[in-house]
Amino acid sequence: MRILILGTGGMANTHAMNFATISDAKLVAAVDVDLARVRAFALRHDIAETFTSLEEAIAWGEFDAVANVTPDRIHYPTTMALLAAGKHVLCEKPLAESFAKANEMATAAEQSGLVTMVNLTYRNVAAVQKARQMVIGGEIGTVRHIEASYLQSWLVSKAWGDWATESQWLWRLSTKHGSNGVLGDVGIHILDFAGYGAATEIGHVFARLKTFEKVPGNRIGEYDLDANDSFTMSAEFTNGAMGVIHASRWAVGHLNELRLRMHGDKGAIEVIHMPDQSILSVCVGEDVEKGVWRQVDPGTVFTNYQRFIDAIKIGKTAEPGFSHAADLQKVLDLAIETERERREMAV
């Protein structure tokens, strides 16, 4: 399977390294508007062809599938062009900046018959996959309450780099540069983490968003730092459970942590995922009476990259697909609207 990498920023290296481990995949080309950057990327990953525009790459045409790792606002026009050109697409999240665009992409994907997936990376976490199986298997009974959080500290720590001087972080803080803030950046991850792990979807939502002052006037050069930094959300899920979901870039002590806890009428499950480890814990059976939690080995799972290649081989899209990502974007759009109108809304 001949793979083209579109966009050669930081996340593109993760895509390239993962595809390089798959025997049925071959990296054949890379595209970036920055000539020096795309050539350096190609050299690092042993990629033969480079282009500075997608149009050039499509005219060349010697590839089967694309990893779309462009900035959020570029996903829509580039993916639509790739579908029109008959190429399979693994697109980074979020699928688009709005539900309207994401839904249009989902419709085009379905009509194309091509394999299209969204790289919701935490589907690669074995612990959440195992948690979902346990919920579906009825091991904690009927789910009543869900807690989910995504905590990062890169606005108060330089562990990831200096956000105030590096464009790869600054654009994430600016709506003018296509960012919907922490809600759009990691909110989509925690919504998927919670809904997938609990085997349900959000039915009603109410959210509050907050942008804190990071520098005087919240502006650095061309970047207006006006995108939200933290959000809290109350939700009612379609399985009847109530839930709370929140995320922040101000979470001191948490470099990159996702947490999901599901409480049922027969037990509970907790998933904690951090860069260096994932932990799956359960409180079931006799342990319910004393509130005892025990760790469970979740096993291993295939990555989105492997499942994308496998899906192309059999000609059938695997989850998470474009339609699912569009549904998540609808929740994100409504969250912004609920903040503006100060009322709960149905999805």
For tokens 């999805």, what's the residue?
Answer: 347
* Contacts for 312 with CB less than 8 Å, ≥ 6 apart: 1, 64, 65, 88, 115
- Token pair listed for 60: 């060349």
Tell me: the pLDDT tens digits for 185-213? 899 999 999 999 999 999 999 999 999 99
Determine the straight-line distance between the first and last CA of the chain, rounded to whole angstroms.
Answer: 38
| H/E stretch holding 272 | strand 267-274
* pLDDT bracket for residue 86 (50, 70, 90): very high
Phi, psi of 41 (to 5 degrees): -65, -45
CATH tag for 2-121 (out of 3.40.1410.10, 3.30.70.980, 3.40.50.720, 3.40.50.300): 3.40.50.720
* Contacts for 36 with CB less than 8 Å, ≥ 6 apart: none
Helix (H, G, I), strand (E, B) or coil at 194: helix
Q: How many angstroms separate the CA atoms of 83 and 78, rounded?
A: 9
Q: Taking the domain 126-300, which CATH number applies?
A: 3.30.360.10
Confidence check: pLDDT of 9 > 90: no
Q: Write down the domain spans for the chain.
A: 2-121, 126-300
Confidence check: pLDDT of 346 > 90: yes
pTM: 0.92
H-state helical runs in 235-321: 287-290, 304-314
